[in-house]
Amino acid sequence: MKRHFNKPIKSMFFMLIIFSVLFLGSCQNNDKIENISTEIHLEELGETGIIAENKAVDFYFYFPENWILQRNDTMITIYLYSDDIIKTNVNELSTDEPLSYMIRPNVSADVFTLLEGYETIEDYWVNFAAPSFRQVFENVVDESEEDLTVDGVPAKKYTYTLSLSGIDFKFTQIIFFNKDRVYTLTYTSTEDKHATYISVLNTVAETFKFK
């Protein structure tokens, strides 16, 4: 069945996708923070984790204490400070010299009103979310799909790669419904760093709670 999307909602969805990537290069922090262990366990949160919450949203979760928290009305984002510099492909941008970006792994959690007509997560992914990514980014390739639960509700985890300005990124996104809303937990990094911090997304999902 063909669906007619609410344009403001779809535009906001695109902006959050773009923000999730551009956020990596836009944050400024002068403090040096050591990288956390890639093995993060829930029993360690009392010593190494802090809570992320926002009065504007109906959820919270825990994250490693050396990740940095930013919040707005619809989304909570955590990121790891990094000095890694990535240069764009000049052929992609038609510029004489490559542009440089400071790339920072991040996890964002957001919530939207669920569009009408989507009864399953798979339907939402196949017919809305994935096509939305392909309209914005290049070379979007699905890599894996996994079933899980988040605070007792069914969820799906999708991992995919894409290109932006000649830079290869890798995303893992967890999607779940609750009542009339859709929630997404999105981990973004360059493709070569994806495996290093994927455990942070897993910790966010395991500690995520509805208020």
pLDDT in tens, 37-52: 334 444 444 444 667 7
Give Cβ neighbours of residue 126 (< 8 Å, ≥ 6 apart): none
What average pLDDT does this structure show over 88-106?
60
pLDDT of residue 20: 55
Poorest-confidence range of 28-32, 56-60, 106-110, 121-125? 28-32
Q: Does the pLDDT at position 159 exceed 60?
A: yes
Residue, of 2 and 108, whose pLDDT is higher: 108
What are 30's two structure tokens? Answer: 């002068």
In a 13 Å sphere around the CA of 207, the CA atoms on its Cβ side amount to: 23
Q: Which of 5-9, 10-14, 22-26, 201-205 has the highest mean pLDDT?
A: 201-205
Residue, of 82 and 29, whose pLDDT is higher: 82
| Residue 57 near residue 74 (C-beta atoms within 8 A) | yes
| Domain coordinates in residue numbering, the chain | 7-28+40-210
CATH superfamily of 7-28+40-210: Mog1/PsbP, alpha/beta/alpha sandwich (3.40.1000.10)
**Element spanning 60, H or E:** strand 59-64
CA 136/CA 129 separation, integer angstroms: 11
What are 157's two structure tokens? Answer: 């985890």
CA 109/CA 57 separation, integer angstroms: 10
pLDDT of residue 64: 86
CA 83/CA 101 separation, integer angstroms: 10
pLDDT, one tens digit per residue, over 175-210 is 999 999 999 999 988 888 899 999 999 999 999 999
Strand pairing class (209-210; 59-64): antiparallel
